[in-house]
Amino acid sequence: MKHGIARQALVAMVLGAACAMVFAQGAASAPAPGRGPGAASGPGMGMPGGMGMMRGWQATRDNTPGWAMMNRAERDAHHRKMQSMASADECKAYMDKHRAEMVDRAKQQGRKAPAAVAPRHDPCARLSTK
pLDDT, position 53:
47
Residue ranges in the chain modelled with pLDDT below 50: 27-54
Q: Are 88 and 127 in contact (CB under 8 A)?
A: yes
User: Chain centroid to CA 25: how far?
Assistant: 22
pLDDT, position 78:
92
pLDDT, position 36:
43
H-run or E-run covering 88: helix 88-109
